[in-house]
């Protein structure tokens, strides 16, 4: 019979932690921060696979790490939220309840299984004012932290957090908040510590709009995102209002154009299926489907 | 709910299964008792134990669809409710109206709403309009047992098609039978006890490509005609200010006519009928 080597529980936990941390650090980062009009979620993401998504009316989800693992958690969260909302009432689905379920689940996985999940997730719930917003960071070992208005996850999260900590302002408007988020994400990962300028194609952006009734989550992509990113403060107020008021995307949520459809195929090489949203000129685009 | 008490506190495994994007499918594992059609019913007819909702009309327009429903629910010869709402948005671009046993109909409608939203969130994309209609047909079929005992519910489904095969037909209407049969209707349709009269009214007045505003007027006219000849359908209630629920689904999403808007239309219709009761 083979001799089992003794490993102390501490050693086992340390090894697992290290393994999970390494896995998370390999990936690109994400930031979540509150601003005057809601909560902004930004992830550096060049694929069409989403790191940010909607869980429920006021609740958003952002994650970094292994896709299959956080996607699994995301689905579980959507299922739990919809189940509770269906059996009780939509108002009874809370970010804290969800964060609790995640922390239990990740904690159990961390202690009971051979391989911990290599993920870090954020559950964000938008309130009526920045003070009532809730941001929960849940890490691979199931620990949960209530973050004060902003957070960064992923590789070099500490450095990104430092940028956010200095400049984060809950009274900032959307372009300012987005500029800060993009700058923070670009502050790491450059050659020899240089900063990077992130473009539309490298960013996945969504907001939880506190002024919207019903489902607050909307993605910002394509033309709207370029306007916000490039125009910055110089964008005419009116145009920004438009961007702000109308979700550019049911577009991302509508079945019209798939990655393989003609429109997409002709202006893009087959390899870059990057999260380019649907053609902004389409009529249904940028329109607020009033499902409430 | 059937969540086991796992001492670790983690979510039960079926929450994390990659399997299905369907909420009803998920409910069969998580909480089967919450699904309509899963409940054993004692034998016998039960048609008169619960309120019934009545007439719904839907009209395809140049911009999408318009759906309207009267506000009455009946129980035998009694009026169970004067202000029940039987037309609802199913999601951002589609509408559902229900006729038949009100309780089951409302449950079916809520479940369908969650079903669509759930799919949208899990998959990151909306179901096609045909996909939505098929899903609803399956859910109606699940209620067949109860329907045979008198607790039938039949929805009417209509929506704005984001990917129409024919650009001229962006508004589409689907009707169902109790066995879950799905039929796409051309132009207009109506369900419920007053549907015979509503459809006759629509047949005479409807023409393809009408505007949303005209369709709203037409829907209220048709409901008036239904109420005129069917006791179970309520007409505009001028004394209590209870008017039909009318909604539209267009490229701009769904919209329910505000109190003022529908009051204005209903008053026009009623004053028209003062001069010509036949419309």
Q: Report the distance separating Cα B220 and Cα A185, nearest Å.
A: 56
User: Chain B partners of A215 at a C-beta cutoff of 8 Å?
Assistant: 117
Tell me what pLDDT residue A265 has.
38
Tell me what pLDDT residue A192 has.
81
Q: How far is A193 from chain B (nearest CA, A)?
A: 36
Cβ of residue B118 closer than 8 Å to a chain A Cβ: yes
Of B16, B124, B253, nearest to A289 by CB-CB distance is: B253
From residue A194, give the alpha-carbon distance in Å to each of A44, A45, A158, A187, A191: 17, 20, 16, 7, 5
Q: Report the distance separating Cα B78 and Cα B75, nearest Å.
A: 5
Q: Which residue has the higher pLDDT, B245 or A263?
A: B245
Beta-strand pair B56-60/A119-125: unpaired
Q: In the predicted model, is pLDDT for residue A208 greater than 90?
A: yes
Percent helix / strand / coil, chain A, rounded to 5: 40, 20, 40
Which DSSP string corresponds to A56-113?
A: ETTEEEEEEE-HHHHHHHHHHHHHHHHHHHHHS-GGG--HHHHHHHHHHHHHHHHHHS
Q: What is the pLDDT of residues A228-253, one digit of tens each?
A: 887 654 443 333 333 333 333 333 34
Q: Which residues pair with B59 in a beta bridge?
A: B66, B188
pLDDT band (50, 70, 90) for residue A267: very low
From residue A119, give the alpha-carbon distance in Å to each of A45, A187, B129, B192: 15, 22, 36, 52
Q: Give domain status of residue A44, yes or no.
A: yes
A222: part of which helix (H) or strand (E)?
helix A222-226
Domain range holding A126?
Answer: 26-266
Residues 210-249 of B with CB under 8 A from A: none
Residue A162 · residue A18 · CB < 8 Å: no
Which two three-digit tokens encode residue A279? 């053609």
Q: Give domain status of residue A84, yes or no.
A: yes
Cβ of residue B162 closer than 8 Å to a chain A Cβ: yes
CB-count exposure of residue B91 (10 Å: 0-12, 13-18, 19+): buried
Which two three-digit tokens encode residue A84? 């509770």
Tell me what pLDDT residue A254 has.
38
Name the one residue in this structure whose structure tokens are 């709009």: A209
Q: Report the distance separating Cα A56 and Cα B152, nearest Å.
A: 32
User: Chain B partners of A85 at a C-beta cutoff of 8 Å?
Assistant: 114
Tell me what pLDDT residue B37 has.
77
For chain B, how big is the Rg over CA atoms in Å? 20
CATH of range B50-275; options 1.10.230.10, 2.40.110.10, 3.40.190.150, 3.60.20.10: 3.60.20.10
Q: Give domain status of residue A123, yes or no.
A: yes
Q: Which residues pair with B242 in a beta bridge?
A: B237
Q: Give domain status of residue A9, yes or no.
A: no
Tell me what pLDDT residue A235 has.
41
Tell me what pLDDT residue B17 has.
80
Which DSSP string corresponds to A159-196?
A: HHHHHHHHH--TT--HHHHHHHHHHHHHTSSSGGG---
Q: Do B125 and A104 touch (CB under 8 A)?
A: no
Name the residue in chain A with its Cα closest to that of B7. Answer: A108
Q: Report the distance separating Cα B111 and Cα B35, nearest Å.
A: 8
Q: Report the distance separating Cα A96 and Cα A146, nearest Å.
A: 10
Q: Do A288 and B255 touch (CB under 8 A)?
A: no
Low-confidence ranges of chain B (pLDDT < 70): 1-7
Q: What is the pLDDT of residues A161-192, one digit of tens each?
A: 999 999 999 999 999 999 999 999 999 888 88
Indicate which CATH number applies to the domain containing A83. Answer: 3.60.20.10
Tell me what pLDDT residue A1 has.
60
Q: Give domain status of residue A182, yes or no.
A: yes
Of A104, A252, A289, nearest to B93 by CB-CB distance is: A289
Q: How far is B195 from chain A (nearest CA, A)?
A: 27
Instruction: Name every residue whose Cβ is closer than 8 Å to that of residue A274 and which is 6 or more positions away in sequence.
Output: A46, A47, A48, A201
Of B18, B128, B252, nearest to A255 by CB-CB distance is: B128
Q: Report the distance separating Cα B19 and Cα B13, nearest Å.
A: 11
Q: In the predicted model, is pLDDT for residue A257 greater than 50?
A: no
Catalytic residue annotation of B: 54
From residue B4, give the alpha-carbon distance in Å to each of B7, B9, B13, B30: 9, 9, 10, 10
Tell me what pLDDT residue B11 has.
85
pTM of this structure: 0.86
Q: What is the pLDDT of residues B244-260, one digit of tens each?
A: 999 999 999 999 999 99
Q: What are phi and psi of A111, to 5 degrees?
A: -85, -25
Cβ of residue B253 closer than 8 Å to a chain A Cβ: yes
Q: Do A53 and B121 touch (CB under 8 A)?
A: yes
Tell me what pLDDT residue B14 has.
84
Q: Give domain status of residue A105, yes or no.
A: yes
Q: Which residues pair with A38 in a beta bridge?
A: A35, A209
- The count of domains in chain A is 1
Residue B92 · residue A291 · CB < 8 Å: yes
For residue B229, give the 3-state DSSP assignment.
helix
Chain A residue set in contact with B, beta carbons under 8 Å: 50, 53-55, 72-73, 75-76, 78-80, 82-83, 85-87, 101, 104-105, 107-109, 112, 215, 250, 252-256, 283-284, 287-291
How much is the average pLDDT of A94-123? Answer: 94
Q: How far is A288 from chain B (nearest CA, A)?
A: 6
ipTM of the complex: 0.90
For chain A, how big is the Rg over CA atoms in Å? 20
């Amino acid at each position: 019979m083979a001799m089992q080597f003794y490993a102390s529980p501490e050693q086992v936990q340390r090894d697992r932690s290290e393994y999970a941390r390494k896995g998370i650090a390999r990936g690109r980062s994400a930031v979540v921060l509150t601003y005057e009009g809601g909560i902004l979620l930004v992830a550096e993401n060049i694929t069409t696979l989403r790191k940010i998504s909607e869980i429920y009316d006021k609740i958003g989800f952002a994650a970094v790490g292994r896709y299959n693992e956080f996607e699994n958690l995301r689905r579980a969260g959507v299922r739990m939220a919809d189940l509770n909302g269906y059996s009780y009432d939509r108002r009874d689905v809370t970010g804290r309840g969800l964060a609790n379920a995640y922390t239990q689940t990740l904690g159990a996985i961390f202690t009971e299984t051979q391989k911990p999940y290599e993920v870090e997730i954020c559950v964000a719930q938008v309130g009526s004012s920045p003070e009532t917003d809730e941001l929960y960071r849940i890490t691979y070992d199931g620990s949960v932290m209530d973050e004060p208005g902003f957070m960064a996850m992923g590789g070099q999260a500490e450095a990104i957090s430092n940028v956010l900590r200095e400049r984060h302002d809950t009274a900032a408007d959307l372009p300012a908040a987005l500029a800060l988020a993009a700058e923070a994400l670009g502050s790491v990962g450059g050659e020899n510590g240089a900063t990077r300028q992130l473009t539309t194609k490298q960013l996945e952006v969504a907001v939880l709009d506190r002024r919207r009734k019903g489902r607050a989550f909307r993605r910002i992509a394509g033309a709207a995102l370029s306007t916000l990113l490039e125009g910055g403060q110089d964008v005419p107020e009116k145009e920004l209002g438009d961007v702000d008021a109308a979700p550019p995307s049911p577009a991302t949520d509508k079945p019209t154009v798939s990655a393989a459809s003609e429109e997409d195929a002709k202006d893009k090489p087959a390899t870059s299926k990057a999260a380019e949203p649907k053609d902004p000129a389409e009529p249904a685009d940028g329109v607020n489907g009033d499902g409430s | 709910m059937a969540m086991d008490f796992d001492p670790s506190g983690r979510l039960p495994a079926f929450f994390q299964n990659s399997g299905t994007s369907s909420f009803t499918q998920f409910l069969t594992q998580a909480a089967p008792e919450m699904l309509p059609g899963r409940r054993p019913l004692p034998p016998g007819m039960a048609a008169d134990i619960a309120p019934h909702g009545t007439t719904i009309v839907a009209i395809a327009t140049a911009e999408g669809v318009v759906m309207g429903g009267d506000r009455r629910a009946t129980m035998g010869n009694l009026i169970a409710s004067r202000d029940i709402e039987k037309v609802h948005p199913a999601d951002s671009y589609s509408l559902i109206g229900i006729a038949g046993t009100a309780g089951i109909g409302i449950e079916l409608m809520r479940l369908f709403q969650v079903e669509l939203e759930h799919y949208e969130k899990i998959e990151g994309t909306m179901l096609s309009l045909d996909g939505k209609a098929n899903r609803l047909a399956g859910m109606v079929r699940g209620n067949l047992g109860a329907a045979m005992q008198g607790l039938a519910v039949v929805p009417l489904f209509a929506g704005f098609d984001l990917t129409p095969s024919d650009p001229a037909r962006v508004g589409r209407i689907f009707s169902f039978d109790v066995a879950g049969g799905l039929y796409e209707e051309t132009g207009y349709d109506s369900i419920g006890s007053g549907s015979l009269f509503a459809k006759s009214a629509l047949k005479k007045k409807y023409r393809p490509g009408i505007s949303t505003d005209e369709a709203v007027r037409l829907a209220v006219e048709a409901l008036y005609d239904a109420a005129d000849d069917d006791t179970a359908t309520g007409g505009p209630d001028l004394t209590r200010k209870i008017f039909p629920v009318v909604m539209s689904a267009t490229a701009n999403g769904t919209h329910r006519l505000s109190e003022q808007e529908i009051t204005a239309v209903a008053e026009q219709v009623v004053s028209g009928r003062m001069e010509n009761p036949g419309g």
